[in-house]
Amino acid sequence: MARVQPLSGFPEWTPQERLVEAHVLATLREVFALHGFGEIETRAVEPVERLAGDSEASKEIYAIGRLNADEQAGREAKLGLHFDLTVPFARYVEENQGRLQFPFRRFQIQKVWRGERPQEGRFREFYQADIDVVGRDRLPEHLEAEVAIVMARALRELPLPPARMHLNNRALVEGFYRGVGILDVAGALRSVDKLDKIGADGVREELHGKGVSPEAVGAILELAAIQTPDGSFVDLVEALWDHAPIVDDADEAREHFDRGARSLAALVDAVNAAVPDTALADLRIARGLDYYTGAVYETVLEGHEDLGSICSGGRYDSLVAGGGFPGVGMSIGVSRLVSRMLGANLATATRSVPSAVLVAVTDEEHRAASSALADRLRTRGIPTEVSPNAAKFGKQIQYADRRGIPFVWFPPAPGDGGDGEVKDIRSGDQVPADADAWTPPTEDLKPRIVRG
């Protein structure tokens, strides 16, 4: 038989690692639901042309089809696995708009597939968790803060270092760019979005290549350098406008700029009031995607900045082509986050299996008695397994220890009364116990996720 070759980019965790991942997923669900977000799940496939749109995303799409391609050829559109949750969510809202209540608050946690080169923290198959609020024709601005607050609270519930949310506003940035005479604002934003990758000199060279004047380049790099933990950035950006090379007839651009500055200041203050020491106004954050129109977010873990943004998103004018569905949303790359949690020992499970108790087997003739005792514990919600063999009790204790099971239950000897005795194999304490009354300590009932 040929040796199995591993596939890179498709993470497969051990049971103990999977407990960490499951804890993250459960925590996100709990916090999202606590704030009134309802869960949806969309199909894994969409027509390839819908997934790709006008972008170069088609390079990352995994196309699928039946093995008997001739049978399917020409009968239905070519399908692809979704590479994020935004495209399927847009289709879901468009198809179900008559059955939804707006503003529609949804969260979605599913696997996505992306055909990019695997590397640390980047996978071809991974979990993504999104929250969005979508309105019908209008969406109150205060929801931009609410979405950020929900995400910040979710991250604080996880065994992670402090997360800092870097916030900007596209109206502020676009107004400033237009004010200094940049016509291709979207192109300039995509260049500035590369600051962390290619540095200021690389961005300057790229913008010069797009025809942006040296004076304008200098001004937008100055803007990108502004970062404050509160609304004090407003004075800094206004001073920058006053000495920047502003073009004539920039009144509309200035109005755009002022509106964005006010919105960003309110956003930073609201997030920090709800989740202290979380938000930063960071005028470097651009989010190169064209559809963002208001707040934009990127989140990094303190001490793990090399991981990049673990959570990002922003405000958009329309989720659905044709308009009418403005919204705001954020997305967490769950597998990316879990990979760092495991690799950097930020979190671990207290044991690798759910079992709190191993019921020993005196001999195979009496295995049924051990199984019946285990079922009595299970009916009371105590995770229990039965020893796979009737070896000497010392061997069965070793088996429990290797599995990380804290308690071993010894059934009574044939003919004896009672339910036997239970042993804490960590301390050595062993006491008589009643299977209908005994309960392990709360901290031992189920595996817990603790900071590494």
Query: Binding site for L-histidine: which residues?
Result: 84-86, 114, 128, 132, 287, 291-292
**Tokens read off for 373:** 């005792």
Q: Count of alpha carbons within 13 Å of 145, Cβ hemisphere only?
A: 17
Provide the β-strand partners of residue 109: 129
Whole-number Cα distances in Å, 332 to 34, 107, 176, 239: 18, 11, 30, 35
- Phi first, then psi, for residue 420 (nearest 5°) are 95, -155
**Tell me, what DSSP letter sits at residue 120?**
T
Residue type at 360 in one-letter notation: A
- Of the candidates 133, 56, 39, 64, the one whose C-alpha atom is nearest the C-alpha of residue 330 is 133
Rounded CA separation 177/283 (Å)? 12
Burial of 443 (0-12, 13-18, 19+ CB in 10 A): exposed
- 292: its two tokens: 């963002």
Instruction: Say how far apart CA 94 and CA 97 lie, in whole Å.
Output: 6
CA distance 182 to 215: 11
